[in-house]
Chains A and B, each alone.
Chain A
């Protein structure tokens, strides 16, 4: 099993739509690596609205999303969909 590279994006302090736009910019940048499953993007946010907008958008882009509640905000993991 190939090791998956993890990229991090911290958008804490930002609110929507900035959190979404910053996340999408990273997703665009890492597009191929995210779709082929070699990279996992971890987004940290403390904006609750972002836990809805980010997953909705990246899911429609064909990516898989998981949201975890952390002590200071949320961790949103974005990666390739599994077959």
Chain B
């Protein structure tokens, strides 16, 4: 193909489209207008795109897209709408997933809400019930047709004011979870928990209340408390009984292990309860047959007769033991009760009484032998001179007086024993004269001792029974004589001390130990009982104290073994009124 040929063909084609100048101008104008319209449409399109992009950007929370940041051409190429649409697709997918989870959670909560054993109610701040579960309806209003929208106070409490312990009001007041234990309602009891639902500002908008019926538990608790009260009362009663029992008391199990020990027993052993409870009887009574007898009683089912055990130690004691068996309802032996009665004093008195019988027999026999001997002499023999007969008769009289004295003492002690008072014939008496008379008697009948009497300068007048006070002096001086070695001095001192006359009788005799002093006023007690050569019934000091006290006086003994004894007693001095 040549170049000339091509130029010709082109000229022919152009010639076909050749326009007139006017037509060409019109075509140019049309094309310009069409171009302007296209430009406007593009600008509108871009503006629309930017507006939509900014709208979408606002939805996702950011600022609009500035034109200088992305020009129109870049905007189209960058395609933000596509980007945001892709993000929205993911957001929607996420929302859908979240919604599914929420639905599942709601279904789960609804299932729990209705299957839970507790009644649940949701209330607004005006006491209106917003929702509730099946259990709540069962518990409180099984027959109600409409519950939602009603107020709890109308449908549940049916009262004009909230009841005491109302959890709903407690939650509204505090804004926190509140509980009420054993809330009473229609003869039933509920543990109630109230929880607030709050808005973003922390204000309570709803209250959820949960009711768990605890009637059976409450009844069980009440029964338990009642039983505990009764048990405590019974225990207190038992303890009061145990405390009030003066005898020592032990309760043991079937092996002899000590379960209970009363205060009297603990005092007997000077022990604390914790140190006795748990011990075996054999440990507590190591040197006695108590544990053995207890085992025999358990084996035979027969408690046996009371018996004595001896507790050795600083102050040895005799205890009378009684055994009793504890039996269950089906008569099985489940333990035992050991009662210990301190019979130390009784046993000592029994011993003293026994000693007294032999002493009294001896005391009666001695003068009686003399009386019998001298009277037989007088009856059988006529050869005696008148002086001899007088002497024998005097001896008989003297011994008869001794007998009368012993019998008087026995009568006095019988009176004291039976609680009767010794009769006194009171009068104003010169006590110093009574003392001197008594001392003179002993001075004349006993030349082995020296007697000294210290008297007040003034005559001492007491209001007393002269025969009985004379008896007191005779007894005390007689004791001083009996228990003093030959050659010893016996001092009798009298003086006024305030409104009393104080009398002291001192000897230089064998004296007494503290234990002997403590028992010197006991009936039948003789400090030196082993020495039967010293006459006496063991009643004199008992009678002396009774007489002194009957006169309104007091009596004390001070003594040291080997250093003699001093007896001090007082008698009220005669007042003017009494004197006259």
Binding site for B on A (CB under 8 A): 15-18, 20-21, 24-25, 27-28, 31, 49, 52-53, 56-57, 60-63
Contacts and interface: CB of A to CB of B under 8 A. Distances in A.
B90 A61 contact: yes
B91 interface: yes
Contacts of A24: 83-84, 86-87
Given A53-B62, A62-B93, A62-B97, A18 B87 contact: no
B62 A27 contact: no
Contact of A31 (B65, B70, B90, B97): B90
Q: Which 7 A-B pairs have the closest CB atoms?
A: A62-B94, A28-B86, A61-B90, A53-B62, A17-B62, A24-B87, A25-B83
Contacts, number: 62
Contacts of B21: none
Nearest to A19: B62
B202 interface: no
B57 interface: yes
A62 B99 CA distance: 12
A16 B94 contact: no
A63 B97 CA distance: 12
Interface in B37-96: 57, 60-65, 69-70, 78, 80, 83-84, 86-87, 90-91, 93-95
B94 A61 contact: yes
B78 A21 contact: yes
A36 to B, nearest CB: 13
A27 B42 CA distance: 30
A53 B64 CA distance: 13
B88 to A, nearest CB: 9
Contacts of A16: 62-63
Nearest to B87: A24
Contact of B86 (A15, A20, A31, A60): A31
Contacts of A63: 90
Given A17-B64, A17-B65, A20-B60, A57 B87 contact: yes
A17 B94 contact: no
Nearest to B97: A62
B71 to A, nearest CB: 13
Contacts of A15: 69
A22 B97 CA distance: 25
11 contacts: A16-B63, A20-B62, A21-B78, A21-B80, A28-B87, A49-B63, A56-B60, A60-B95, A61-B91, A62-B91, A63-B90
B63 A17 contact: yes
Nearest to B86: A28
B70 A18 contact: yes
Given A21-B80, A25-B83, A53 B90 contact: no
A18 B90 contact: no
A20 B40 CA distance: 30
A60 B57 CA distance: 14
Contacts of A28: 83, 86-87, 90
Contacts of B94: 60-62
A63 to B, nearest CB: 8
A61 B60 CA distance: 11
Among B69, B83, B97, find the residue whose CB has the most chain A CB atoms closer than 10 A. B83
Interface in B162-186: none
Among B61, B62, B64, B65, find the residue whose CB has the most chain A CB atoms closer than 10 A. B62
Nearest to B78: A21
A60 to B, nearest CB: 5
Contacts of A49: 62-63
A57 B60 contact: yes
A32 to B, nearest CB: 10
Contacts of B90: 27-28, 31, 61-63
Contact of A56 (B61, B69, B84, B93): B61
